[in-house]
Chain A
């Protein structure tokens, strides 16, 4: 019984996965990178947005790629500049020709 269920799940889920996989995924991923990097022309962005309304797998890619960029921007702490560094630079500049 367990084997039967397992086979059914495997068959149906695998089939479903293939069906929902975007046939143009590589191209879509390239477009997505440019869109998230603010490098894409406006028409590419609007076309992509229309596409992800219809394409489940590309919408999933969009969510993940966006999450990773936000993670870097928001959670990566910036190192504080050591207190004396600015003064050292100014001193060295004033001593230079």
Chain B
């Protein structure tokens, strides 16, 4: 993309625009979906994505061509969400990870049913039901599941995007999945797909 020995700082506007279009804009769909998962609102997602790309363009000099553009953009979007959007909207309740950890150390929530039934229940879920279960999670848990399972980021990349240690990525991901599993299985019980085992 950039000629040998040339840095982004040396590019003129046309060169920067080209780089922007070739390396950053292709991630629009992923970024939009990430924004939507954070805000649950189309207008806010639009604004957040626009701000992300404008900031990325403004700070293009700090981007290294050919490196992980997607992770860089996700990090900018996440920071914009925390700094701009979250502050101006009603602050969501913070999750006490320690408390959740001790609760979930009691293992596998309180739904006991055979695994075959649970697998059947999970396989029988529709997209809307999965989206609803995911949306019921706290935004931090929702985010990490989306980054990992939907966007395919590695633990190390998620640690950079979220500004948290890699150990926290693992533990948060684990708890997020436990909570999601609980949501999904509770929903399947309500719908009568499975029965609670006594």
Do A33 and B174 form a contact, CB below 8 Å, given A39-B154, A79-B32? yes
Chain B: interface size category: 35 or more
Instruction: State the interface size on chain A (CB cutoff 8 A).
Output: 33
Secondary structure dominating the interface of B: helix
Partner of B149, one of A72, A81, A85, A92: A72
Q: Measured between C-beta atoms, what is the minimum distance from B76 to chain A in Å?
A: 13
A81 surroundings in chain B (CB, below 8 A): 28-29, 32
Partner of B122, one of A38, A64, A79: A64
Assess whether B126 is in contact with A61, with CB atoms less than 8 Å apart.
Answer: no
Partner of B50, one of A38, A67, A85, A94: A85
A94 and B174 CA atoms in complex are apart in Å by: 43
A73 at the interface (CB under 8 A from B): yes
Partner of A77, one of B17, B29, B127: B127
Partner of B58, one of A67, A89, A96: A96
Do A86 and B118 form a contact, CB below 8 Å, given A73-B149, A92-B50, A96-B54? no
A-B contacts at CB below 8 angstroms, number: 96
Among A78, A81, A82, chain B packs the most CB atoms within 10 A around the CB of A81
Among A26, A63, A72, chain B packs the most CB atoms within 10 A around the CB of A72
B161 at the interface (CB under 8 A from A): no
A85 and B180 CA atoms in complex are apart in Å by: 31
A17 and B152 CA atoms in complex are apart in Å by: 35
A68-B181, A85-B49 known; 12 new pairs, CB 8 Å cut-off, are A33-B173, A37-B173, A38-B154, A63-B115, A71-B125, A72-B149, A75-B126, A76-B150, A77-B127, A89-B54, A92-B53, A92-B54
